[in-house]
Every structure is written in structure tokens, then in C-alpha cells.
Structure 1
Amino acid sequence: MRKKSFCLILILISTLTFFGVACSPSFVGLDLNSDRLSSNSSNESNDSNFTVGTPAEYQVSINTVTPTIIEGGLPEVVQNVRDTVVSLSCVVIDGEGNEGNSSGSGVFFATDESNNSSFILTCCHVIDQASEVEAILVDGTKLDCELIGGDDEKDIAVLKTSGIFPTADVRNMLEEGGAPLELAESVFAIGNPLGTLGGSVTQGIISGTERIINMDGVSMNLLQIDVAVNPGNSGGPLFDYSGALVGIVNAKSVGTDVEGIGYAIKIDDAIDIAESLLSTAGNPEYEYKGYIEGKVRLGVTVQGAFNSEENKYFYSIVALNVYGSVAQHNSSATDDKKIYINDIITGIKVSDETMYFTDINTLGDIVKTLEVGDVITLLVKHPTNYNFITGYTYESREIEIIMVQYVYGL
């Protein structure tokens, strides 16, 4: 039998519509093509009422449980947890100033009675570049949200809203007495598919517990599920059949001959990030936003390629992200010392050691070793003149970058 070939595309499943522009996919992933459905190519931060934090020390309460059998079965379990789920409606501004709407899902996971606040866990790509975010409860009540913090690399964000609301129980998977997820264990999702069907329930199983997926050059260890998920489900909860929260839905694979391949962020990973964001929120130096302490990012989206003549990899910059060390650098650098889209990174100097790229992940691996305050030099080829026959000519540049604390939304 002849083997069929197919194109596999990985998409992050929020919904996004811009007014006045045509939105087409931008495939920039290194291993699997990724369509973030939310433009992230601007090199300047947008003004945003939504992303203004408030100084506070949060004393949050998160309930951790082990699975138990519910005698009423799935219908009773769904009734027990549905009030913890929200639909998210966002007003977003793209890199060219166009206003649009994005939809997704979220789940209440923690409360702080001292501040009369409840906290929502969702995906970062759902609220990326949002100027306003509204959470819609099952009964239709609408709540204004404030961004506590996010990590767009791990695709997790925490929102805050006023009032105390029911929170999902988080499954204990790691601590003593915990119950790790098992292959083929039954699970279900509640979300807002298509941005119009809030509270929709779909069920399936855990198809894989350790799926390493590469999105925009970032490796994520995700749960694979066969639960039906669609645009608008991103950020929504994945529950086990006891009603315990086990994951946050964030992506799916689509393509010819591809069916039933969805992904979710493991809840223990999501909670670790959320707790870090909550514990660091309130620092005026970072406009009161939470962050992952010590984390640095270059803040560029790259397309890797292999130079067979030099036997080396290089990276072409396809987008400058809003957040990261390059954005901070470009905000004050002269034109000849800025990093630009279409620049080619050929090497990097760290502590007087020049390193070249031996595989598609080398740049990311190097950045992971860096700390706040480290000074690196990017070896860059900058396109200058273009000739229709011979193509671009390039100018070699060395651009010094100071690695800064990565704070999403700053």
C-alpha cells in the first residue's frame, strides 16, 4: 500500500477576528508549524488599560485533591464544576493598530478573600495584546478582568476579577499520595468553542502523557487528548471524571488525514507558573505585573535553516516580539544597532566565547543558560540592498544585548 503524505499543522485554539484587515495564518514553527492566531510581530508595546496591575500581596487559596468516584457519573460531575468555567471575550490591538476581538476560555482556580478577589487561569495567547478582557459566567454575568501576569513561552496567564467565585479543585499529581494521570484515563473539557458556544462539554481520553511539541522554537511537554476542541477552547479546563482539574487546553493538530489530536498544558506545570506570577506581582519596577523570577527572553521569533557550505545553522528573524530583551534594547538603540525583522543571526558571543549553531535548537539552548544582567553579542547579517537577480546583499553587524528580566505585558 502506498503511504500517503500529509501536512501537519499545530494551531493554538483561541478565536481572533480583526476589523479592516485580512487575517491569514503565519507559519513560523521550527518542528511543527504554528499559527498563533494573535499577531505577535510588533516591536512596541500597546497602551492597555487591561494590563495595568495594582499593588497587592495576594494570599491565595488553591484546593488540591485526589480523584474520587462520583456516583452520579459524568452528568453530576459536570454540574459540580461548570460554575468554575468562564468564557473570555477580548478586545485586541494588532501591531498595526487595528482593533479586533479574540475569544477563549478560562477557569477559576484560586481566591483571595482578604482582597475580595478570584483568579482565572487561561492561555497567554488568548489574551495576547488585549486592551480589554471580560469573563462571562455560565449564567451570563460579565466581569472585568485585570492581568496579574503571564508567560507566553509556556502559554499561561493569570487574570484577576473582583468577588469570590467557585474554584476548581486541582488534582494532586506530584506530592505524596498524589495520583498521576494514566494513559487512556477518561477526561472532559468545558469551553467556549467558536467563541459563541460557552459551556460546551466534550469528552475523551488521555492519548499521551508526555508529548514534546515544538511551537515557535519552544519545546512544551503537553498532554495529548482526543477530546474534541476547537478555536475558542484555548485556556479552558480539562477535568478528570471526579471533577478535578488536570490540564489547560491550548492546541490541536490539523491537516489531511489528522483527527482527534488535541493538547493540554499539565495542571502541575500551569499551577507552578501561576503561583510564581502571583508571588511576584506588586513590584512597581515592573508596573505591578507578576513574572517568573530570573527568566530572560530574547523576544524574537525565528526560522532556522542549515547552511550546507559552512556546515552551520542560522536563524532568520521573522517577528520581533513585544516583550523581551531585544524589545528593551531596540527602544533606546540607534538605528544601526537595532535588531530588525529579516536579520539573520549567525552566531552569539557570551563571555568572550563565540558560539555557532550546530542544530535547530542551539539558540534556545544558549538563551536558557543566561541570567538577568548577562551581556551577549549577536552576530547578525543585516539585509541592505536588494537586486532582482542576485537577491539581497548583507552587512555584518555585532549587536550587544543586555538580558533583562522577562515580564509579560511590560
Structure 2
Amino acid sequence: MSTVVISKSAPVVVRPSQPVVKTSGSKIVLSPMDKPIAMMPMTVLLAFEHPIIHHHDTVEAIKRGLAQALVPYYPIAGRLSCDGDLYIDCTGELGVTFVAASANCTMEELMCLVDNQPPDAETAVVQQLAFNCTADDLPHRLLWVQVTTLSCGGFVIGVTWNHGLADGFGVAQILQAVGELARGLPSPSVIPVRLDHNATTQAVSPFTMAVLQLMNSHKASHPDLIKFNNITIPSSLVDRIIRRRTNVNVTVFEAVAAVLWQCRTRAVMKNPEAPAVLLFAVNARKYLGAKDGYYGNCSTMQMATAKSGAVANGDIMDVVGMIRRAKERIPEQLKTGGEVMIGEKLQLNEYESLLYLTSWRNIGFEEVDFGSGKTARVMTYPQRVAVLSMMERSCMPICIMLKATQEGARVMSACVSAHHADAFHHEIANLNVTA
């Protein structure tokens, strides 16, 4: 079909289904890991191919599960406040903004359009599947939910959240709880924890703080980074890389990260002696001993570094090894702080030097089930406010890894300028032939 029309109802507010017992107090001070990304909206889209079986109204089933989930997850119904420190005011009165919507297409038609429509178009369909935040919205809500039902009975739930509330793992845990309650379970299987001193007091090492400062100060020479678009790293290429290493098990993340880093470096490199840095997000829960059920931000950053020529011209397995060795250094750097003079040491002055990679694979979004089966597809798109804070200010080249399909590993990419876009795609296609 040529045109997809998404009709939205007026937003309503979903509040906890019953009075909550605030065992942790009425204020939750944001941790050092929460604060740098507070006031930054993030969006995840979960697609489900079938309607909810046990309930005739998909929207009402999810709304009911959400209201019940807001009892144990009562901080979500609060707001951000500042009184000498930034904190979640657990009033419970603001609730969650909820929008019911419908689309005049099937899931197959919608996914075809999502895959092929330029995401930078102001009316792109993917941007109509979730609530689009403004800067004024962020202090007054922590979570926004939209459920869009399709003509085939499937549906898409779009969730936008203030990143200061939770990281991706935390939001996946919240949505799993909503799904369990929507399916009729008496309580979530995971007891939520929002205050955890093990996680919040240790999460920011000097190394991580230096990386955050680097991200905030990095100025690109190419502010015209292309908007997010979908690319696929072919399964055949990923499989060949994994099979080539016999003595160490190469992960899908390592293989895809190596392809992106090498191909981008080949496309944009000016000076083979200049530094090339792959910066990637790491879930730090297991390293910091975070309690089960902790849903606040508990991530750190790690980087692999080499000369651009080594990344661009080396064997792909050498690039995989660089990434693996960087991963192996994570526990020690969280413990000791590692190298903190990152910016001065690397002298990152060009956009060619740095690529930021974050993975949304296997963090829990695929396990969400509202009663129609588990998530068929996970998607995202950059909220305009997030783009302003993350990219237009610092021009950070970024890739977001999503769950793979049969065709390959799906990646949302905004890591090259328009001038280098064709070369980047050509390098991926060429590597698929030569690796």
C-alpha cells in the first residue's frame, strides 16, 4: 500500500491501580550514572504479530497491566525535581501518558514501510508509532506509552522514557512486568529495585567519567552527519567471522562491531597514523554486584583504540581481537579507573576518529509478552530532543545494534557524513565478499 495513516486518540493518564507503599521513601536521588543522561528521551518500539489472545481489547489489556505495574514500580509515576540535587519525586500523582492509536495496514506492510522510508522525513511512519517528546515534556513525566493496533490484529507498543529513570535493561524489565500483569499474573516475577548503593556508588569510575567528558567535548569537523538509517550486516559475513576464530568464541557483537569499525574507518580515513576509537556501552551490573531487579542506569563505557591504518587495513580478525581485549579490561578499569587522560592522550579532533556503538540486542526487549507471544521485532529511532543533545551538540557518530534477522544483524546508523555514506556501504558489501 502507498499510504499508511496512523490515527491517535487523545492522551490519557494511567496511574497506579491502587495506593502504593513507598518503602524506599518519597525521594530517589539520581545516581552519578543517572544524572548525565537525565532529561534525555529514549524510545523503543516493540512489534507483535498477533492480538492478545485472552482479552478482546489489546489496548485496554496493556493499559490495565501498566496501571498494576505502577504499584511496585511507583517511582515511574513521579517526576524529576531539583532541590540542591536532582531526584525522582515519587508523588505517584502524575502517572504515565498513554495514547491509543490505530493504523490502516498490516504488520507486513508496516515493516516494509519502516525499512524503506527515510527516517529523517518529518512524517516518517516510525516517528508516529510513539510519543514525541519536547523539552517541556521531560520534567513532567518519566514514561510515555503508545499502543498502535494494526488491521491484521498485530500491534506496536512505543515506549519513550526519560533516560534518567532507567537504562535499556531497566525499561525491558519494566515492560516484562507490564506484560506479566496484562497476562493475568498476580505480581511481576522480578521484584523491582530502584535504590542500590552497590550499583549507584561505584558505577562511575574515573575512566568512565573521562569517557563521558570526551563525548561531551568532542567536536566533529562534519556536522552534516546523515540521519539515522537502517543497514544490515549480512549473516553470511557475521558467520564467516565467527567461524574463523577456532581457539576463542567470537560473539555476534564482536563480529558486527569489527565490521562497522573497519568499514567506517576505511570510508572516512584521512591519515592512517591518526587514532581510531571504538567507544561502546557496557552493562556493568555483573561487574558491580547490582541487586537483581535494579532498573536504574548501571552502564559504563569502554573503548578500543588503534591507529586508523591498523583498523582499516588489518585483517578483520585483528580488529575483532582489539575489541575483545578492550572488553577484557572492563573489570580492572571499573575497579581502578584506568587511563583517565583520554582526550589529551588521543587528541580526537576529527569526526573520523570516533565511533560510538551501543547494542540493544538481548537486553530483554525480545522477552516481552503481553499475551500474544514474544516480541517479533525491536526497533528504535532518535527522539529529536535526544538528537540535539547527543549529536547536534557534539556530532557524535553513532550506531545502534538491534536484534538480528535471517538476513543479518540490523543496525541503525548515523556515523558518516553524506559525503562518505556510499563509501561506507560499499566497504560493507566488499568485506562480505573478501572476508
Shorter-chain TM-score range: under 0.3
Greater share of strand residues, 1 or 2?
1
Task: Give the TM-score, by structure 1 length.
Answer: 0.26
Task: Give the TM-score, by structure 2 length.
Answer: 0.25
Q: Structure with the greater relative contact order (CA < 8 A, sep ≥ 6): 1 or 2?
A: 2
